[in-house]
Chains A and B, each alone.
Chain A
C-alpha cells in the first residue's frame, strides 16, 4: 500500500523558513517522481514543485522559483521541500504526491501538512 506522510508544517513569520519532509513507503521510491502540491484555504490545487526519481531533474512553479528547493534522499525514501523567504501567500496545506509512472502528474497523495505564514 502506497503511503506518503508529510511533516514539518507549522506557523512561521513572513520572511522565515520551513523544511517539509515526505516519508514514502509501499513502492519502489527511486522509480517515481514526487511532487509538492498546495491548497490555500478555500482555494484550488496549485502545483509547487516536482523532482524526478533519481533527483537529477527538478521543476518549480514560477510563484516559488528561487525561494523553494526540492530534494530527495532515496536511501531514506524521503523528499524534502526547503521553503525560504516565506510570504503570507504561501499559507496553505502542502501535499506530497507521488507521480504516475513515467509522468509527473500525481496519482497517490499524502494527507497534507499546514503551513501558516503570519505577517
Chain B
C-alpha cells in the first residue's frame, strides 16, 4: 500500500485533457514539494514536474502540475498517443524521513 494515493488508471482520446490526482497527508504533500514522473515501458522514470508546478526544460507546456493542501494533480492537455505511459507522484515525508511514491497511474490513449 503506497503512502501517496493515485487512481490506478486513466484514459482519454487524442486532443482531450486528462488529470491525474495524487493524495497524501500533512507530513508529505501538505508540507513538501510534489514531483511527477513519466515511465514508458522498459525505461527509467523521467521527471515531468518538480516543486509542484515547475517544468524541466524539454517538457512541453501542455503538461502542468498543481498542489492544494494535501493533494496534487498532473494535467495533460492536447493528449497524444505518446503520452500513453505510467505516471507517478512523489514527495518527501517528514514523519517517515523517506521519499514516498504514489502507486502509479496507467494512462491509456484510446
Contact = CB atoms under 8 A, between A and B. Distances in A.
Interface stretch (A24-32, A76-84, A100-108): A100-108
A46 B43 CA distance: 16
Given A100-B50, A104-B99, A107-B56, A45 B44 contact: no
B101 A107 contact: no
Interface in A35-85: 35, 37, 44-47, 50, 59-61
Interface in B65-110: 86, 88, 90-92, 97-104
- Interface SS of B by simple majority: strand
A111 B44 contact: yes
A44 B99 CA distance: 14
Contacts of A107: 35, 47, 50, 56
Given A103-B33, A106-B47, A109-B44, A59 B91 contact: no
Contact of A108 (B47, B86, B88, B97): B47
Contact of A61 (B35, B43, B98, B104): B98
23 contacts: A44-B86, A44-B101, A44-B104, A45-B37, A45-B90, A45-B101, A47-B99, A47-B101, A50-B98, A50-B99, A95-B44, A95-B45, A100-B35, A104-B99, A105-B50, A105-B90, A105-B91, A105-B92, A106-B37, A106-B99, A107-B56, A109-B44, A111-B43
Interface of B: 2, 32-33, 35, 37, 39, 43-47, 50-51, 56, 86, 88, 90-92, 97-104
